[in-house]
Amino acid sequence: MKVLIVDDEPPARARLARMLDSIEDIEPVGEAANGLEAVQMVQKTRPDVVLMDIRMPGMDGLEASRHLSKMEEPPAVIFTTAYSDHALEAFDAHAVGYLVKPIRKEKLAESLQKAKKLTQAQLATLSKETEHEGRTHICARVRGNLELIPIDRIVYFQADQKYITVRHTEGEVLIEDALKNLEQEFARRFIRIHRNALVNVAYVSGMEKSRDGRFLISFNKVPDKLEISRRHVAEVRRFLKSR
């Protein structure tokens, strides 16, 4: 069984690596220091199991596990944490498992055996149950791989039937989501300008009126202009005046 170690503390990674080396039929395939590195390493090494620390700088373990669950063949995730037992009751409801630090070899071996029995359906359930406020990245599938776009680089979301165009400073990708869900999750950073569009307030440069009477919003990092529906004009104008 191939195992990836994810922890922001080098001594913790080294200790897990030593224990894995002493467990039969286990093959350590690499290490990562945060959630973003974990997603990248998983796509390169294709582990069966990820030992995932929960609290890490940047992207934490919970968000990383949600992104990994979108893979066609996601790895099983075992959380490693310093939390108390009662704080982990939510995780204990799933078959993924968790290990409380300091981790003992016997518990590690037991959790790895348990992880062999996980199904993709159970991993998908974990993805829904562990959602928390404010993802740091949006996950898109591009040519069979996962691409992670930092929220602070996204200029706008624009809906078109069941797909959402995610326009970011380096290009754009498509995701399947609901604009309403995105609006609720990122309410402090994005404002709605149209029934089909949310814009990142950090990239808004101004609004103008076109020759045909439409109101348009412009951005400071991309040349795009989006229409503002008449019902949202007053709100956008108030936002621009308040900056």
Confidence grade of residue 232 (pLDDT, cut at 50, 70, 90): very high
Ordered structural domains, the chain, with CATH: 2-129 (3.40.50.2300), 150-242 (2.40.50.1020)
Phi, psi of 96 (to 5 degrees): -70, -50
* pLDDT for res 54: 87
pLDDT: which is higher, 92 or 173: 173
Contacts of 192 (CB under 8 A, 6+ apart): 183, 198, 232, 235
- What is the token pair recorded at 34? 């945060």
Q: Where are the alpha helices (DSSP H) in the chain?
A: 10-21, 35-45, 61-68, 89-92, 105-115, 120-129, 179-185, 230-242
Confidence grade of residue 129 (pLDDT, cut at 50, 70, 90): very low
Indicate left, alpha or beta for 85 from its phi (over 0: left) and psi (-120 to 50: alpha). Answer: alpha
On whether the pTM is more than 0.85, the answer is no
* % of the chain beyond a pLDDT of 70: 86
Confidence grade of residue 215 (pLDDT, cut at 50, 70, 90): very high
Question: Looking at the chain, how many residues does it have?
Answer: 243
Mean pLDDT of 46-56: 92
